[in-house]
């Protein structure tokens, strides 16, 4: 469940037809993309856009991803993707996610992803201080 | 260019990171998905949702698609997908599309898709009358 | 690492350009699709094709997926996807995966997925006996 | 139909489950990716790999794509993607495609794509001479 003691962002969108499969439901690989879009949204909402982060020479490379599928979603369904910072270290961050039905709030998929901060040359490095500060605040507020 | 003599719907969203490629731009195949989402949005806006259409036993199967790429788009860019009915026949419909930068309005990609109305058994059939009426009105208003 | 005491299948293919992202590497969500294709290949190789499984009224619905990203892969790289049965229960199965560079054998991504056997009506059910037998044999040979 | 007076390459693969949609068929956007993989295969077969082309500072940017859908394909179906050079100019090339059932040879989807040669700085430029020579030979043999 999304934590109540930290900042959780939400973005809402429709399931696209291309995201469904022969089972008539959203293909499970797409939730990994929804997680990513949820953290893009998180960074925009928190005033620390990932596009700027990338332009300043950094990447948050993905080292692990996990998803648990509880209830399927379908074409045209409005879903809300929640994102928060699970854990923050000087060179790493873990995000948590919850995909819920936008109308009923029913939890459909949960997951997390772990990331390491690297330079565009591939060297592991500390998160830029303004990013660290923004995300640290989010987990202690 | 989007026609001025008929109903054009618009939906705006961000380019997802997963939609980019090694060139640093949105991969060209994703615009075909944006076209589809644009016609989903069109049908919702016009009160004739494609989800309902499908549930009532029909499909608008795609028989042709075309895209012209003018200006690339990038991760996190806000784009607006415009959709309208290009041509309407008793058993077929052609949609037109324009993908533009949401801020500047610059046209990035244009395209069209042709569809035939079939039953879930695969038989070509007439568009249901309420759908035909809604889309006919859109092209003559 | 792929286990040495059970049957491991391998299929080899090229990374497609559409599967890359702005970082110049394969987008992490695609490995979830490679895992799925690896288990499709596994079922074909083991004489129990998933297409037939589905046609006979069953689905192996995905309830959990996990991936660990070790070394990035790039456009046109030949990779080998290994798949095996991690754990087998009467109504559930867990597959393990390893994505390696086809030339050097370097391990790039590892993961697993958990599945439950359901009917097309959504009821949890036992794996069909011939499937259970085929996969049971694979984990005890 | 694939031309008989020039070099046509073929690569064969299975439809992936993730490539299907709620209609139970391959989602139409995936054929654009199959076209791309077909021209990757073409360039590899002709000894002028696109990966090398890119590394030497060029891109064949997509300016137009077209697909005609004739017969649907489904999960696990083996399909063959045919690719050839339709038209060659000093700064541009058009590829033709045919997606056929690998067993029966039935034509399922046809299409073409138009490309312009640009540098990584985005300037339109002539195709490198060895590429031009290789493709020119293919269209005149």
Nearest-CA distance B2 → chain A (Å): 23
Please provide the DSSP assignment of B43-90 as one string.
HHHTT--HHHHHHTTEEEEEEEEEEEE-S---TT-EEEEEEEEEEE-S
- Averaged pLDDT for residues A20-35: 98
Beta strand D78-88 with B107-119: parallel, antiparallel or unpaired? unpaired
The per-residue pLDDT for A135 is: 87
The per-residue pLDDT for D15 is: 98
CB contacts, 8 Å: C75 with chain B: 22
Please provide the DSSP assignment of D88-99 as one string.
E-SSEEEEEEEE
Q: Answer yes or no: is C3 within a domain.
A: no
Tell me how far apart the 2 most distant CA atoms of chain A are, in Å. Answer: 46
Facing residue for A62 by CB, picked from C36, C64, C69: C69
In the block, tokens 């590829």 appear at D95
Q: Answer yes or no: is A1 within a domain.
A: no
The per-residue pLDDT for C39 is: 97
Query: A31 and A119 in contact (C-beta within 8 Å)?
Result: no
User: Interface partners of D (3+ CB pairs, < 8 Å)?
Assistant: A, B, C
Query: B10 and B81 in contact (C-beta within 8 Å)?
Result: yes
Say yes or no to pLDDT of C13 above 70.
Answer: yes
| pLDDT single digits (tens) B80-126 | 999 999 999 999 999 999 999 999 999 999 999 999 999 999 999 99
Name the residue with higher pLDDT: A134 or A104.
Answer: A104
Test mutation, B24, B25, B27, B29, chain D, max D CBs within 10 A: B29
Q: What is the pLDDT along chain D (141 residues), one digit of tens a residue?
A: 789 889 999 999 999 999 999 999 999 999 999 999 999 999 999 988 999 999 999 999 999 999 999 999 999 999 999 999 999 999 999 999 999 999 999 999 999 999 999 999 999 999 999 889 888 887 876
Q: Which two tokens stand for residue B107?
A: 């046209």
Count the Cβ atoms, other than its own, within 10 Å of residue A29. Answer: 24
Say yes or no to pLDDT of B65 above 90.
Answer: yes
Comparing alpha-carbon positions, the chain D residue that sits nearest to B31 is: D29
**CATH at residue A19:** 3.10.129.10
Q: Answer yes or no: is A85 within a domain.
A: yes
User: Interface partners of C (3+ CB pairs, < 8 Å)?
Assistant: A, B, D
Residue range of the domain that includes C50: 9-140
Q: Which two tokens stand for residue D111?
A: 């299409």
Nearest-CA distance A51 → chain B (Å): 7
Q: Answer yes or no: is C77 within a domain.
A: yes
| CA-only gyration radius of chain D, Å | 15
A40 and B76: CB-CB below 8 Å? yes
| pLDDT single digits (tens) C89-102 | 999 999 999 999 99
CB contacts, 8 Å: C14 with chain D: 37, 40-41
The per-residue pLDDT for B141 is: 60
- pLDDT band, residue A141 (cuts 50/70/90): low
Full 3-state SS string of chain A? CCCCCCCCEEEEEECCHHHECCCCCECCCHHHHHHHHHHHHHHHHCCCCHHHHHHCCEEEEEEEEEEEECCCCCCCCEEEEEEEEEEECCCEEEEEEEEEECCCCCEEEEEEEEEEEEECCCCECCCCHHHHHHHHHHHHC
Facing residue for A33 by CB, picked from B18, B41, B51: B18
Rounded-to-integer distance, Cα C105 and Cα B19, Å: 29
Beta strand A78-88 with A92-101: parallel, antiparallel or unpaired? antiparallel
CB contacts, 8 Å: D30 with chain B: 29
Test mutation, A64, A74, A117, A119, chain C, max C CBs within 10 A: A64
The per-residue pLDDT for B137 is: 82
Q: Answer yes or no: is C2 within a domain.
A: no
Q: Answer yes or no: is B71 within a domain.
A: yes
Helix locations, chain C, DSSP H: 30-45, 50-55, 129-140
Q: Which two tokens stand for residue D38?
A: 């077909």
Q: Which two tokens stand for residue D4?
A: 């008989």
| pLDDT single digits (tens) B31-64 | 999 999 999 999 999 988 999 999 999 999 999 9
Counting residues of chain B whose pLDDT is more than 90, the rounded percentage is: 86
C36 and D50: CB-CB below 8 Å? no
| pLDDT single digits (tens) C36-94 | 999 999 999 998 899 999 999 999 999 999 999 999 999 999 999 999 999 999 999 99
Counting residues of chain C whose pLDDT is more than 70, the rounded percentage is: 99
| pLDDT single digits (tens) D104-125 | 999 999 999 999 999 999 999 9
CB contacts, 8 Å: B47 with chain A: none
CB contacts, 8 Å: C75 with chain D: 51, 54
Give the total number of structural domains in chain D.
1
Q: Answer yes or no: is D4 within a domain.
A: no
Q: Answer yes or no: is B4 within a domain.
A: no
The H or E element containing residue D41 is helix D30-45
Name the residue with higher pLDDT: A5 or C77.
Answer: C77
CA end-to-end span of chain A: 18
Say yes or no to pLDDT of C140 above 80.
Answer: no
Nearest-CA distance A126 → chain D (Å): 30
Q: How many helices (H) and strands (E) does chain D have?
A: 3, 5
Beta strand C78-88 with C58-69: parallel, antiparallel or unpaired? unpaired
Counting residues of chain A whose pLDDT is more than 70, the rounded percentage is: 99
Q: Which three-class secondary structure state does DSSP give residue D103?
A: coil
CA end-to-end span of chain B: 18
Q: Which residue from D92, D114, D90, D110 is spatially nearest to D100, judged by alpha carbons?
A: D110
Rounded-to-integer distance, Cα A132 and Cα C126, Å: 49
- Mean pLDDT over each residue of chain C, to the nearest integer: 95
Nearest-CA distance A84 → chain B (Å): 18
Test mutation, B17, B20, B22, B29, chain C, max C CBs within 10 A: B22
Rounded-to-integer distance, Cα B50 and Cα B125, Å: 16
Comparing alpha-carbon positions, the chain B residue that sits nearest to C74 is: B22
In the block, tokens 């806006």 appear at B45
């Amino acid at each position: 469940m999304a934590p109540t003691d930290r900042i959780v962002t939400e973005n809402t969108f429709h399931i696209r037809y291309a995201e469904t499969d022969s089972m008539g439901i959203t293909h499970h690989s797409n939730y990994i993309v929804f997680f990513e879009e949820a953290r893009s949204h998180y960074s925009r909402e928190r005033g620390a856009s990932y596009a700027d982060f990338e332009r300043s020479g950094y990447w948050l490379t993905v080292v692990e991803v996990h998803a648990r599928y509880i209830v399927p979603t379908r074409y045209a369904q409005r879903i809300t993707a929640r994102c928060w910072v699970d854990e923050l270290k000087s060179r790493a961050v873990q995000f948590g996610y919850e995909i819920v039905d936008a109308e009923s709030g029913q939890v459909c998929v949960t997951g997390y992803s772990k990331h390491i901060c690297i330079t565009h040359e591939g060297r592991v490095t500390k998160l830029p201080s303004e990013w660290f500060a923004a995300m640290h605040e989010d987990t202690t507020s």
